[in-house]
Amino acid sequence: MNIIITGASSGIGFETALEFTLDSKNKVVCIARSADKLRKLLEIAKGINPDCTLLPVEFDLVNDDYTALIPFLKERLGTIDILINNAGSLINKSFLTTTEADLAEMLESNVMSHFKMIQNTLPLMKSGSHIVNIGSMGGFQGSVKFPGLAAYSASKAALHTLTECLAFELADQGIKVNCLALGSAQTEMLEKAFPGYESPVMAFEMGKYIADFARTGHKFFNGKILPVAVSTP
């Protein structure tokens, strides 16, 4: 399979990439801003499976030029079977100290980057392709909310609605779009949101779940925002 993972240099994206590279038939493009972390990912992947194909791409989803990225993807992959939009960031501030610039940053990082990635890669997708957006329980309607995460949670809620809209719009092309609203997993982002909290789910466990869902979930779901949480937060 031909797979693209954004935000692949750490945490859940890192572990999801490693899970896909266990199968030597997969071609995995890993996109992130940190070249050093991507090199480390490639080193670990090759250590686990020397025959894997992992293509690290240093790219800023918000600011860089997609006209340079797409020809590379077309040349190395041809078509795209799975796109996992995992990249994102988090700001933890009280609402009164959250600025308009903070909200704009959350929307750019957690919504616009995925909007642009999907729009630019769609010409390389075909019937049966699966787009998986990584959302959050923070943006899941009716879930428990936490102080300091208003801008972050609002951006994730926007991503959830974008998922539903795209699933309907792309249905005629046979392209499925789903969103996993993740609860906690032990990552740097979790530590930033909830200092001192220890999640019952490790990053590698969540990475394996996401990889498995990306491979098979579109057989059962389309346009769904699926909560993936065993506890609060």
Q: What is the pLDDT of residues 23-81, one digit of tens each?
A: 999 999 999 999 999 999 999 999 999 999 999 999 999 999 999 999 999 999 999 99
Give the three-state DSSP class for 31.
strand
Catalytic residues: 152
- Residue 233: pLDDT band with limits 50, 70, 90: very low
Contacts for 195 with CB less than 8 Å, ≥ 6 apart? none
Q: How does pLDDT run across 219-232, given as a tens digit for each residue?
A: 999 999 999 987 65
Most distant pair of Cα atoms in the chain: their distance: 52
Q: Which of 169, 172, 181 is nearest to 133 (CA)?
A: 181
Question: Distance (Å, rounded) from C-alpha 131 to C-alpha 218?
Answer: 9
Segment among 48-52, 91-95, 150-154, 200-204 with least mean pLDDT: 200-204
Structure-token pair, residue 91: 């700001």
What does the angle CA 21 – CA 27 – CA 31 come to, to the nearest 5 degrees?
A: 85
The yes-or-no verdict on residue 153 having pLDDT over 90 is yes
DSSP per-residue codes, 100-118? HHHHHHHHIIIIIHHHHHH
- Class in CATH terms, 2-228: alpha beta
Predicted TM-score (pTM) of the model is: 0.91
- Conformation bin of residue 148: beta by default, left when phi > 0, alpha when psi is -120 to 50: left
